[in-house]
Structure 1
Amino acid sequence: MENNAKETVLSIRDLSITFKTGAGPVNAIRGVNIDLPRGTTLAVVGESGSGKSVTFKAAMGILASNSVVNSGSIVYNYRHNDGTPATVDILKMKTRDIRRHINGKRIAMIFQDPMTSLDPTMPIGKQIMEGMVWHYKTPKQQAWDKAVRLLTEVGIEEPEKRMRQYPHQLSGGMRQRVVIAIALACDPDVLICDEPTTALDVTIQAKILELIKRIQAERGISVIYITHDLGVVAKVADFVNVMYAGRIVEAGTIDEIFYDPRHPYTWGLLSAMPDLDTEDDRLYTIPGSPPNLLHPVPGDAFAPRNAYALNIDERLDPPLFRISETHYAASWLLDERAPKVEMPPELKARIERMKKEGI
């Protein structure tokens, strides 16, 4: 799943994470491999509970206390202030070192609900300045000036006035812009956006996506979107990883995933996207529900919901089959011995429409 044209800034290998619960251990992440090429946008998509957020909370060193990392590495390649290259495995770092050298400073995260990210008792300005003062010992006045510039950069008018206001005095869209300003305050080179527009209405959503895109182009940062919304993915991503039951089941460029999907789960996700031109009067939904990861999953986790499942799916988990240099899918349908199965005709027609419209 590597893209060799660019340096890989973040490389996750064989990541396996279990959560201890009262009902027993939950095998939430089951051998995840993800690469983020520098300067690109990667979207990680899948239903709730597929493991998207957990994977990147591990990269931020902010996993819940009942989590156990069973195996794997999260290798981060960056440059020191003097330009010399450095490489660390975040999973081997002490929590305090992650806080001081990685969190907010080099890898920043924008969470789903700005109200849970912002401190209701602290003025906006102070919250933006906090990271600069903590990580870089930036003098107060300098931090204030930079915070005002950041508020302007994220499209907030009257920034000086806003600096003194509290989160409850701002609208949802403005609060999300403030969260983005906080994330950018220490000039990170990786920005993780966890469902950054879910709580916002559609017009504000589009503005926030445009804002992140513009900032990425200006600063040359790498961006990861964690989302279940393929409409968002179509607007922002260079690469897509499709996640199901704690594993990556398909990975490729945006065009490969949207125009040439190979995994039945990806077919289901694309078929479930709202489409004005579809013949059906009802929106498609993938039948069944994801497996309970409290129990071991025999074979392919998607098999019980897969209309194209083969006998082998019940016994063996498929490996990632290589389709092209950048495109992989974990489906036994790609084995040369498997019967030839085409994607559903309705999806094929939809993809043809998408190609014509240039989506």
Structure 2
Amino acid sequence: MNREKVLSIRDLSISFQTAAGAVNAIRGVKLDLYKGETLAIVGESGSGKSVTVKAIMGILSGNGQVTSGTIDFTYKRGEETVHQDLLKLTKREMRRRINGKRIAMVFQDPMTSLNPTMPIGKQIMEGMRCHYKTPKEEAYKKAVNLLTMVGITEPEKRMRCYPHQLSGGMRQRVVIAIALSCDPEVLICDEPTTALDVTIQARILELIREIQKNTGISVIYITHDLGVVAKVADYVAVMYAGKIVEKGLAEEIFYDPRHPYTWGLLSAMPDLDASDEVLYTIPGSPFNLLNKGKGDAFADRNAYALAIDYRLEPPMFQVTDTHYAATWLLHKNAPPTPMPKELKARILRMRKEAD
């Protein structure tokens, strides 16, 4: 199958200057996104998921600095194919040429994305008017169509509403409509359903999948919820302490995980069929990113850590053509270490349910 690469991140490292010193938030990230596919980036809070996508959007905070790497974005400009390293663009160039126009982002809390003093219709039209100089009447019609597409009833009436007059689910749909208004090639969703109840969450996920099917847009999902990942992702990248520790097809990550951290994340998912009375938690605290210590960042929390984990950081080992994991357990000289029995039983149940 000939897959078309849209985004290619190579050796991305980002640090933040703080009063306590330099925080090494992103450490050598390598990721690819293909046309029409969904990549989910998962991991606990502070693992570097949001910082990675903020670097793509060029919206890192003032104390953030990209210390190495490239973010190559491939897009069509008429008949011409353009390859652009986004890190070489100024903030002004990013806003004029990329943000909203070619790469759009849906944030976690719609109230921080919407202007409370402006009717939502005007906010949807703003990007079209700014980037493409779309005539007002044409922009209005497209905005009404977008509201219909994201499932908002009485769209013409809603065009005149202010954000506070809408429910949380409707506000999030409006934010998605704004993100889609300029027909971007890439949509980044940063935990877009966290603040919503379960039924609205399911509708928003279904909506994004439907839009993707109809438009062929590429989607990056940022989440810590593996239940969301199972519903939406083609590919999954698991992040820990600013690094990708495992990546592969969604089926490979869910049914054949190889990294002990991924084992922990899957074991910590609530499961009504599990016999355990206590929900599993990964022991210890997240790695301190001010630290520049030797070895694997996950070693102190890893029940399966080997002596080498405390001395050397593991490279990415290849499991299949699409599946990689950074753990010394995959080294040819490592002792055989099967995944926990409880997790194996859970995966068998997940497979059964999926079938």
The whole-number CA distance in structure 2 between the counterparts of 1:63 and 1:141 is 35
Structure 1 residue 287: Cα displacement:
0.5
Residue in structure 2 matched with residue 129 of structure 1 by the alignment: 125
Q: Which amino acid aligns with 2:23?
A: V
The whole-number CA distance in structure 2 between the counterparts of 1:343 and 1:249 is 16
Q: Which amino acid aligns with 1:160?
A: E
Structure 1 residue 244: Cα displacement:
0.2
Structure 1 residue 25: Cα displacement:
0.8
Q: Which amino acid aligns with 1:53?
A: S
Give runs of aligned pairs for residues 138-153 of structure 1, distance below 5 A: 138-153=134-149
The whole-number CA distance in structure 2 between the counterparts of 1:76 and 1:297 is 33
Q: Which amino acid aligns with 2:110?
A: P
Does residue 78 of the first structure (1) align with residue 75 of the second (2)?
Answer: yes
User: Gapped runs of 5+ residues in structure 2?
Assistant: none
Give the TM-score normalised by the residue count of structure 2: 0.99
Does residue 217 of the first structure (1) align with residue 218 of the second (2)?
Answer: no
Residue in structure 1 matched with residue 311 of structure 2 by the alignment: 315
The whole-number CA distance in structure 1 between the counterparts of 2:79 and 2:164 is 41
The whole-number CA distance in structure 2 between the counterparts of 1:295 and 1:307 is 21
Structure 1 residue 354: Cα displacement:
0.7
The secondary structure found in structure 1 opposite 2:108 is: coil
Superposed CA offset, 1:300-319 (max 9, x none): 00000000000100010000
Residue in structure 1 matched with residue 60 of structure 2 by the alignment: 63
Superposed CA offset, 1:97-155 (max 9, x none): 11111100000000000000001111101110110011001111111111011000000
The whole-number CA distance in structure 2 between the counterparts of 1:143 and 1:346 is 55
Superposed CA offset, 1:7-61 (max 9, x none): 1100000000000111111000010001011110000000000000000100001
| Worse overlay, 116-125 or 294-303 | 294-303
Q: Which amino acid aligns with 1:265?
A: Y
Residue in structure 2 matched with residue 51 of structure 1 by the alignment: 48
The count of corresponding residues between Structure 1 and Structure 2 is 355
Q: Which amino acid aligns with 2:299?
A: A
Superposed CA offset, 1:211-267 (max 9, x none): 000000000000010000000000000000000000000000011000000000000
Residue among 84, 89, 96 paired with 2:85: 89
The whole-number CA distance in structure 2 between the counterparts of 1:317 and 1:262 is 16
User: Gapped runs of 5+ residues in structure 1?
Assistant: none
Q: Alignment RMSD, CA only?
A: 0.8
Q: Which amino acid aligns with 1:282?
A: V
Residue in structure 2 matched with residue 106 of structure 1 by the alignment: 102
Residue in structure 2 matched with residue 165 of structure 1 by the alignment: 161
Structure 1 residue 83: Cα displacement:
2.8
Task: Please identify runs of 4+ aligned residues in structure 1 that moved more than 6 A.
Answer: none
Superposed CA offset, 1:284-333 (max 9, x none): 11001111111213210000000000010001000000011000000000
The whole-number CA distance in structure 2 between the counterparts of 1:336 and 1:96 is 49
Superposed CA offset, 1:146-188 (max 9, x none): 1011000000011111111100000000000000000000000
Give the TM-score normalised by the residue count of structure 1: 0.98
Residue among 23, 26, 49 paired with 1:26: 23
Does residue 156 of the first structure (1) align with residue 152 of the second (2)?
Answer: yes
Residue in structure 2 matched with residue 350 of structure 1 by the alignment: 346
Q: Which amino acid aligns with 1:37?
A: Y
Residue in structure 1 matched with residue 37 of structure 2 by the alignment: 40
Residue in structure 2 matched with residue 178 of structure 1 by the alignment: 174
Q: Which amino acid aligns with 2:81?
A: P
